[in-house]
């Protein structure tokens, strides 16, 4: 499927299937905010494009040959995608991330943003991390948010935000805006959910990494959020609750609004 058509499809919550050929990521100069639509008081994100990347996908586990395919992430090769983790009660990460993204999308659209999803549902396979990054690049996103749940040791709890580490000559222009995006997401998420910073990794809820293809290949400001540890009983209870996932989505919207305005 052509990337332009895929991006158009994913701007809505219509049915479809992720995957397909991996398009080349196209670099665009920063900033690249549209000017045709001006923000107003009730539509503060008018003219802004946000790409939401709900981690993993519901069909990944049934297609290991596809998701285990190795792809280039600039500083090495990694699996196209993974199955993700799950709570001890069986609530899968791919369903969690899809639900949060589906709740977050209309909040952002209500503020005037154009929202593009990297997958159209929770039934498909992939897309690969390379294609997810390319969707953000092609959309000339003002912000890219990849949503995840962690699978750490059960004794650790809390959330953290991951920002891209520097790969000279590849992502130099997005390091600073991505760090600002990360701080705004972190602050809003903590305030809106009451969840603490992760006790088992990162520092003050922030971590920089160069081993994540979705961040390495992004030419737009991009961050990952590990919304909690799905293997921790307390975090899992929150992440399995629809009302709390709505709080998460509302908090993430607040962070994106803070960054984009």
Active-site annotation, residues: 226
Identify which of 248, 211, 222 has the alpha carbon closest to the alpha carbon of residue 135: 222
Strands (DSSP E) contained in 43-113 are 49-54, 70-72, 77-79
Place of tokens 């549902």: 121
**Beta carbons within 8 Å of 260's beta carbon, 6+ residues apart:** 44, 45, 48, 50, 113, 142, 143
Question: How far is the C-alpha of 109 from the C-alpha of 45, rounded, in Å?
Answer: 8
Is there a contact between 222 and 49 (Cβ–Cβ < 8 Å)? no
Alpha helices by DSSP H, listed for 24-84, are 64-67
**Count of CB atoms within 10 A of residue 32's CB?**
13
Q: Is 131 helix (H, G, I), strand (E, B) or coil?
A: helix
Torsion-angle region of residue 47: left (phi > 0), alpha (psi -120 to 50) or beta? left
Residue 105 φ/ψ, nearest 5 degrees: -55, -55
Other CB atoms within 10 A of residue 40 CB? 9
């Amino acid at each position: 499927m052509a990337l332009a058509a895929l991006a158009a499809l994913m701007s809505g919550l219509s049915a479809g299937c992720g995957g397909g050929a991996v398009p080349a990521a196209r670099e665009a100069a920063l900033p690249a905010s549209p000017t045709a639509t001006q923000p107003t008081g009730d539509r503060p994100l008018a003219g802004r494009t946000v790409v939401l990347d709900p981690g993993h996908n519901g069909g990944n586990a049934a297609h290991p040959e596809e998701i285990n395919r190795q792809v280039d992430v600039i500083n090495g090769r990694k699996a196209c995608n993974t199955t993700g983790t799950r709570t001890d009660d069986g609530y899968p990460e791919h369903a969690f991330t899809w639900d949060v993204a589906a709740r977050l999308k209309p909040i952002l659209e209500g503020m005037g943003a154009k929202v593009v999803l990297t997958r159209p549902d929770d039934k498909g396979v992939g897309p690969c991390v390379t294609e997810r990054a390319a969707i953000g690049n092609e959309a000339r996103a003002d912000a890219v948010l990849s949503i995840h749940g962690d699978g750490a040791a059960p004794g650790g709890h809390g959330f953290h935000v991951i920002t891209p580490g520097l790969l000279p000559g590849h992502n130099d222009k997005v390091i600073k805006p991505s760090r600002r995006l990360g701080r705004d997401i972190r602050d809003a998420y903590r305030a809106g959910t009451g969840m603490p910073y992760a006790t088992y990794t990162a520092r003050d809820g922030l971590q920089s990494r160069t081993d994540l293809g979705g961040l390495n290949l992004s030419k737009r400001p991009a961050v990952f959020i590990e919304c909690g540890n799905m293997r921790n009983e307390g975090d899992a209870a929150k992440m399995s609750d629809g009302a709390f996932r709505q709080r998460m989505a509302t908090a993430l919207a607040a962070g994106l609004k803070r960054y984009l305005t």
